[in-house]
Amino acid sequence: MADIRPERVVILGVPIDNLTLDEALAQVATFLQQSQPHQVVTVNPEFVMEAQHNPEFQRVLLQADLATPDGFGVLLAARWQGTPLRGRVTGVELTRRIAELAAQKGYRLFLLGAAPGVAQQAAAVLIAQSPGLVIAGCFAGSPAPRHEPFLRQIIAAVRPDVLLVAYGHPAQDLWIARNQPFLRIPVAIGVGGVFDYLAGRAPLAPGWIRRMGLEWLYRLCHQPQRWRRILVAVPCFTWAVLRAHRVRQ
């Protein structure tokens, strides 16, 4: 199958593939047919802001094989700078579609991360939605580097086709970049809070709120402890994008 990635849109130095959900899934399907390892990152405004002061994370984002547009803010920023993105690809939707594809084609998933027991709950939800799905393993573990040799052993032992890592950014994406050279899994994706959403541990904003771009407000109401992160994702990101645009003019 041919590589279908079209041009990339760059926001504050972070590249994002201009793909719809269907196209992102087709790209993942292509990766799964190739023998080499791939890394997928799901870029939202917080990723872009973190990359501004974390060169290691920025390098991982630059080198990722697929960078999906996750987050209404990146769509708005892309439109504002005159390089509109064609659609939003959220981590939850991409995970569900990958699970569907895996059930059809016999690919096996490994769910790493989140609080103990959450990955198992998320796996049960994915199996219920995609009967026949094979879960190679679930493990909470820890993103701490000293745990890596053990985690590599348990993951390598079951040889999954897709590794979903839920340690939050940038830890999950750095973890994948450090460990993919040893694991060589066809597709590894940092999925942030996806297991929490699938397991029903964190509420997912209704579709109409997401379409209006008010997911941040919904999160602020339901998870007020995230206020600092929302500050980075909304006003700080907006200001940085506007300032960069003004400098360019």
Tell me which residues touch ligand UDP (CB under 6 A).
113-115, 142-143, 166-169, 192-193, 195-196
d(CA 224, CA 179): 33
Query: Phi and psi for 235 in degrees, rounded to 5?
Result: -65, -40
Cβ proximity to ligand UDP: between 152 and 184 the closer is: 152
Local structure of 23: helix, strand or coil: helix
Cβ proximity to ligand UDP: between 83 and 223 the closer is: 223
Q: Tokens representing 215?
A: 């997911």
Question: CB 114 → ligand UDP: shortest distance, Å?
Answer: 4
Question: CB 154 → ligand UDP: shortest distance, Å?
Answer: 15
d(CA 95, CA 197): 11
Question: CB 203 → ligand UDP: shortest distance, Å?
Answer: 12
How far are the Cα atoms of 109, 170, 202, 217, 232 from residue 227, in angstroms, in the given order?
33, 18, 15, 10, 9
Q: Which residue is nearest to ligand UDP (CB)?
A: 192
Cβ proximity to ligand UDP: between 167 and 237 the closer is: 167
Question: CB 193 → ligand UDP: shortest distance, Å?
Answer: 3
Cβ proximity to ligand UDP: between 103 and 155 the closer is: 155
Question: CB 30 → ligand UDP: shortest distance, Å?
Answer: 25
Q: What is the DSSP string of 183-233?
A: H--SEEEE-TTHHHHHTTSSPPPPHHHHHTT-HHHHHHHH-GGGHHHHHII
Please name the residue that has the structure tokens 């190679």. Answer: 136
Q: Tokens representing 73?
A: 């803010």
Question: CB 95 → ligand UDP: shortest distance, Å?
Answer: 13
Cβ proximity to ligand UDP: between 1 and 115 the closer is: 115
d(CA 37, CA 230): 33
Cβ proximity to ligand UDP: between 103 and 167 the closer is: 167
Nearest to 213 by CA among 44, 98, 25: 44
Question: CB 151 → ligand UDP: shortest distance, Å?
Answer: 12
Nearest to 68 by CA among 40, 104, 36: 40
Query: Phi and psi for 67 in degrees, rounded to 5?
Result: -125, 110
Cβ proximity to ligand UDP: between 38 and 169 the closer is: 169
